Structure 1
Amino acid sequence: MTNAPIKTSHAAIASIKNLCSALDIGIDELEFALGIPNAEKYTRIEIPKNDGTFRVVYNPARQVRRIQRRINNSRYKLTSAIIHARVGAAASHPESLNGGLVINALAPLT
């Protein structure tokens, strides 16, 4: 018998459609970015450093960068909500603290 995870959220990103909705992009935009050949998704750039060597940077294609930005912004919003929830939980439920960490990080925002 395996202990398979059970999906309890109705807002889970379990499909391409939900992913596109969460990132506020069209399915065609995602498919276009995925269809870019690997050699063209990132452009290698060498930036000179003060010591005479070069720093190698890989610059993503415009379509890839837009999707990366959406993912990063979504993570920032989630992190901000969790931090807010932790502060709220600590203020209203001090018993939830365990060694300085809030156990219920997703407490209702009040």
Structure 2
Amino acid sequence: MTTATLLVTDVENLGDIIAHLRAAAADVGCGLTVRSLAGDEVDEARAAESARRDRERKRLPIPVRVDLHTLAEGATVDAEAVLRGARARGLRGGATVDEVRRTTKR
């Protein structure tokens, strides 16, 4: 299975960003999972609320990662295509491709 990772820095708007990314990922045959930088699954609403509190306290919110994975055997993940698709749907920032975490599992 091929995977790739996007990094989301605009965590206060996580719900909107994930909605755009999820739709774009589905268009190219991918699924996604929202995780902390450590790899734990994230509750999107809680993460957004925590990020808002961090901003109020003048702290930088902790980014989250979005792990993309193929839904079909033998397919590949194109994180750039997912990000382009999300931007075409109205995403205006807050997410980027994380080149370091791109992996291919066999």
TM-score of the superposition, structure 2-length normalised?
A: 0.27
Name the one with the larger helix percent. Answer: 1
Larger Rg: 1
TM-score of the superposition, structure 1-length normalised?
A: 0.26
